[in-house]
């Protein structure tokens, strides 16, 4: 019996069959039982610089001894927090952006959504309260993120925030129609994952992002890039918004900013949004923030993480490897269990199980992920029945080839009828 209530888990099944990971090293993790796995997921999409980085551990240890944390409310700050804000501002997709720190991705989404509404209140357009989101979207699990979920089952429990509308994930025409129907002047913001992550790794169709950006610009609403997954090198640049020229008004980030060595998140606010709050004499205090916003030691982890990425060119590496990963996985599309392979943008892909097989047997994605683990590869079943591929950015070309082989071996096992997986449901972050 375990006392640990696992997120997104059927505890009746997970209880007693936990997979306990003990160590990590590069793109691999090692279980308590000594088994070594190639981690195809970089944990929950975050371990961009790979496991076992002693430089981060040493800097974190030294900071914990000096000052583990001091808050940043009002006029207080700590030096690492100030430095990380400067550092992130210097690589932001929009020049002169300001950095509002949070403690994770869901915090960042709620922060951005609240800021969008507060911004329009401040600039005299208080009727702009609606926020648009896309089918398949995953924007975390706080109240706003839950309301903004494009994965229907993640909204179970009732409507938390009513001022939300969901549009198709891939149609600019449908977005334009929704804007017309709701009234452009009522819309505060459009949330967009430049490459959809937890909803099954769905790169936007050609032309979609450009067209959607123009539609949102014309409404006067804010464009919010949710870069909790795509930020910090996952798609071959510091931010996907830079790669795709999205000119975002707000950017949410978390995960890769520290590679998960300590939890941290934040929101980048472009000059448009920041200015009404920074103007001398405006007296526009934004009454928002979290106890652990910009946690001192988490920011040290962030600074060393970014040093490593820069020194080793990891922020560009996904661009170099995206073709390699896609070519390695593409042949799996012929496998009897597979419908298609999605990816080709950064170190992000999904091996989508055949939807008709998933419909006939909803346990298949979980079983396939467990069978891959048996073969030595950690992957996860995403919403819609795709298997997640998002390895650490330090993965080598040889390890990418190995990843594809292990995935095939796992699929073969699953096709041969591997046992039921432990409580995995196909609708997780």
Percent of the chain that is helix, strand, coil (3-state, to 5): 40, 15, 40
Q: How far is the CB of 141 from ligand PLP (least distance, A)?
A: 6
Helix orientation angle between 364-375 and 397-415, rounded to the nearest 10 degrees: 130
The answer to whether residue 226 forms part of the interface with ligand PLP (CB under 6 A) is yes
User: Does 203 participate in binding ligand PLP (rule CB under 6 A)?
Assistant: no
Site for ligand PLP, residues 234 to 263, rule: CB under 6 A: 254
Structure tokens at 319: 């661009």
Integer Cα distance of 147 and 191 in angstroms: 12
Query: Cβ distance 137 to 199 under 8 Å?
Result: yes
Closest contact distance (angstroms) between CB of 365 and ligand PLP is 17
301 sits near ligand PLP (criterion: CB under 6 A) = no
Q: Which of 94, 189, 229, 299 binds ligand PLP (CB under 6 A)?
A: 229
The residue whose two tokens read 């910090």 is 232
**Closest approach of ligand PLP to the CB of residue 252, in Å:** 6
Between CA 303 and CA 50 the distance in angstroms is 15
> Looking at beta carbons only, is 254 or 369 nearer to ligand PLP?
254
Cβ distance to ligand PLP smaller for residue 140 or 414: 140
From residue 222, how far is each of 91, 112, 324, 332 by CA, in Å?
Answer: 20, 10, 35, 39
Instruction: Select the span of 163-171, 177-185, 222-230, 337-345 touching ligand PLP (CB under 6 A).
Output: 222-230
Residues 154, 138 contacting (CB under 8 angstroms): yes
Query: Could you tell me if 333 and 340 are in contact, meaning their C-beta atoms sit under 8 angstroms apart?
Result: yes
The residue among 122 and 258 lying less far from ligand PLP, judged by its C-beta, is 258
Choosing from 106, 129, 242, 388, the residue that interacts with ligand PLP (CB under 6 A) is 106
Q: Which residue has the tokens 């032309």?
A: 207
Q: For Cα atoms 423, 428, 429, give the angle at the middle one, nearest 5 degrees.
A: 140
Rank residues 79 and 288 by Cβ distance to ligand PLP and give the closer one.
Answer: 288
Which whole-number Å values give the CA distances from 143 to 10, 160, 289, in the listed order? 22, 6, 16
What is the closest distance, in whole angstroms, from the C-beta atom of residue 399 to ligand PLP in the complex? Answer: 23
Query: For residues 122 and 352, which CB has a smaller minimum distance to ligand PLP in the complex?
Result: 352
Q: ∠ at Cα 249 (245, 255), nearest 5°?
A: 80
Of 17-46, which residues contact ligand PLP (CB under 6 A)?
44
Cβ 110 to ligand PLP, closest distance in Å?
9
Least distance CB 225 / ligand PLP (angstroms): 10
Contact flag: residue 209 with ligand PLP (CB under 6 A): no
Residue of closest CB approach to ligand PLP: 105
Which of 201, 136, 208 has its CA nearest to residue 167?
136
Pair type for strands 187-192 and 222-226: parallel
Q: Does residue 128 interact with ligand PLP by CB under 6 A?
A: no
Instruction: State the angle between helix axes of 208-219 and 172-182 in degrees (0 to 180), rounded to the nearest 10.
Output: 20
Q: Name which position in 105, 260, 294, 384 contacts ligand PLP (CB under 6 A).
A: 105
Minimal distance, residue 16 CB to ligand PLP, in Å:
26
CB of 92 to ligand PLP, least distance (A): 18
Confirm or reject binding of residue 169 to ligand PLP (CB under 6 A). Answer: no
Minimum gap (Å) between residue 309 Cβ and ligand PLP: 19
Contacts of 359 (CB under 8 A, 6+ apart): none
Chain residues binding ligand PLP by CB under 6 A are 44, 104-106, 109, 138-140, 193, 197-198, 226, 228-229, 254, 429
């Amino acid at each position: 019996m375990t006392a640990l209530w696992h997120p997104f888990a059927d505890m009746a099944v997970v209880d007693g069959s936990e997979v306990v990971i003990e160590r990590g090293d590069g793109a691999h993790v090692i279980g308590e039982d000594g088994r070594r796995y190639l981690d195809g997921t970089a944990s929950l999409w975050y371990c961009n610089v790979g496991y076992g980085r002693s430089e981060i551990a040493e800097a974190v240890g030294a900071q914990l001894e000096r000052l583990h944390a001091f808050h940043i409310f009002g006029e207080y700050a700590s030096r690492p927090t100030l430095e990380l804000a400067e550092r992130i501002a210097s690589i932001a997709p929009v020049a002169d952006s300001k950095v509002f720190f949070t403690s994770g991705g869901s915090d960042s989404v709620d922060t951005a959504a609240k800021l969008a509404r507060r911004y329009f209140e401040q600039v005299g357009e208080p009727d702009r309260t609606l926020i648009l989101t896309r089918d398949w979207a995953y924007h975390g699990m706080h109240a706003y993120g839950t309301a903004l979920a494009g994965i229907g089952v993640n909204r179970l429990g009732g409507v938390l925030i009513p001022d939300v509308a969901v549009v198709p994930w891939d149609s600019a025409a449908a977005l334009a129609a929704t804007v017309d129907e709701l009234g452009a002047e009522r819309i505060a913001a459009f949330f967009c994952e430049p490459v959809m992550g937890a909803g099954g790794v769905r790169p936007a169709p050609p032309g979609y992002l450009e067209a959607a950006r123009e539609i949102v610009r014309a409404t006067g609403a804010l464009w919010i890039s949710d870069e909790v997954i795509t930020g910090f090198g996952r798609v071959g640049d510091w931010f996907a918004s830079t790669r795709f020229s999205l000119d975002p008004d707000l950017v949410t980030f978390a995960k890769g900013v520290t590679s998960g060595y300590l939890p941290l998140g934040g929101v980048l606010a472009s000059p448009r949004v920041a200015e009404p709050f920074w103007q001398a004499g405006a007296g526009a205090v934004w009454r928002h923030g979290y106890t652990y916003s910009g946690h001192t030691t988490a920011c040290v982890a962030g600074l060393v993480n970014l040093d490593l990425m820069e020194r080793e060119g990891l922020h560009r590496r996904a661009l170099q490897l995206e073709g390699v990963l896609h070519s390695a996985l593409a042949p799996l599309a012929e496998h009897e269990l597979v419908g298609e392979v999605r990816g080709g943008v950064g170190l992000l892909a999904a091996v989508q199980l055949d939807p008709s097989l998933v419909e006939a047997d909803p346990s298949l994605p979980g079983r396939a992920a467990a069978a891959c683990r048996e073969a030595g590869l950690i992957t996860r079943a995403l919403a819609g029945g795709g298997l997640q591929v998002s390895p650490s950015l330090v993965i080598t070309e040889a390890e990418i080839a190995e990843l594809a082989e292990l995935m095939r071996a796992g699929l073969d096992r699953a096709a041969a009828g591997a046992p039921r997986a432990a409580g995995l449901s196909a609708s997780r972050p």
